[in-house]
Amino acid sequence: MIIYGVYIVSKSGGLIFNLDNNVPRIEHEKTFTYPLDLVLDYDPKKVSVAFNRKDGINVGHVLVAVNGMAVNGATLEDGRDVKTTLESADNFPINLKFSRPKMTTNEKIFLASMFYPLFAIASQLSPEPKSSGIELLEADTFTLHCFQTLTGVKFIVISETGLNGMDLLLRKVYELYSDYVLKNPFYSLEMPIRCELFDNKLQELLLQVEKTGINNIDK
């Protein structure tokens, strides 16, 4: 049982908490000949694929190693410039390893703001009044589970597909939020959650669920 992440969205649509619990690191490794048939974007913070695809390496994937040597930003561990290395025919054939990029905090905030109107649209499309909105969104590689409280705060859990009883986990996360966040005298509503005790209790809960299953959650 795999839980990829937990997100909490405020009633106004802002992301106030996120936890990356078990994000898969998908890597693709291939030996290339000169000239390199991938167009790369050499940003100071990362080297990524800008155009073309090859054997599972797609646009947006980030270069993480060259001939087994880790890439830090746009340079190799030994200080060499990645662009200069890849533009020299003398360095080929060359082995490159690419990985799916990790979402930044800004990207997560943007996605949370996009989910808010989608949730509202789903509620309005319902043929029955007072619809609860999106509770389950299933894709081929993950499932999104959502629970909205009476005050409009949304609790979202991203998990592997085919799991049952996730509503129990969502309500348990809500209990932790009520006990360790709302009762914190230093927390203000609608503000990002920075509560170490809540973080620790949530991680303990997810670890327990992954080891023993949802039905064994402590009451």
Digit-coded pLDDT (tens) for 116-131: 899 989 888 888 877 8
The per-residue pLDDT for 201 is 96
| Mean pLDDT estimate for the chain | 91
* Tokens 């001939």 -> residue: 67
Domain ranges within the chain, ordered by starting residue: 3-23+104-216, 27-99
Check pLDDT > 90 for residue 1: no
Task: List, for residues 163-199, the tens digit of each pLDDT value.
Answer: 888 999 999 999 999 999 999 999 999 999 999 999 9
The region, left, alpha or beta by phi > 0 then psi within -120 to 50, assigned to residue 79 is left
Q: What is the CATH number of domain 3-23+104-216?
A: 3.30.450.70
Task: List, for residues 15-59, the tens digit of each pLDDT value.
Answer: 999 999 876 667 899 999 999 999 999 999 899 999 998 888 989
The per-residue pLDDT for 114 is 93
- Using CB atoms within 10 Å of the CB of residue 16, give its burial: 0 to 12 exposed, 13 to 18 middle, 19+ buried: buried
Inter-CA distances, 159 with 1, 22, 62, Å = 8, 9, 24
The per-residue pLDDT for 151 is 92
For residue 209, give the 3-state DSSP assignment.
Answer: helix
The per-residue pLDDT for 165 is 87
CATH topology assigned to domain 27-99: Pdz3 Domain (2.30.42)
The per-residue pLDDT for 206 is 93
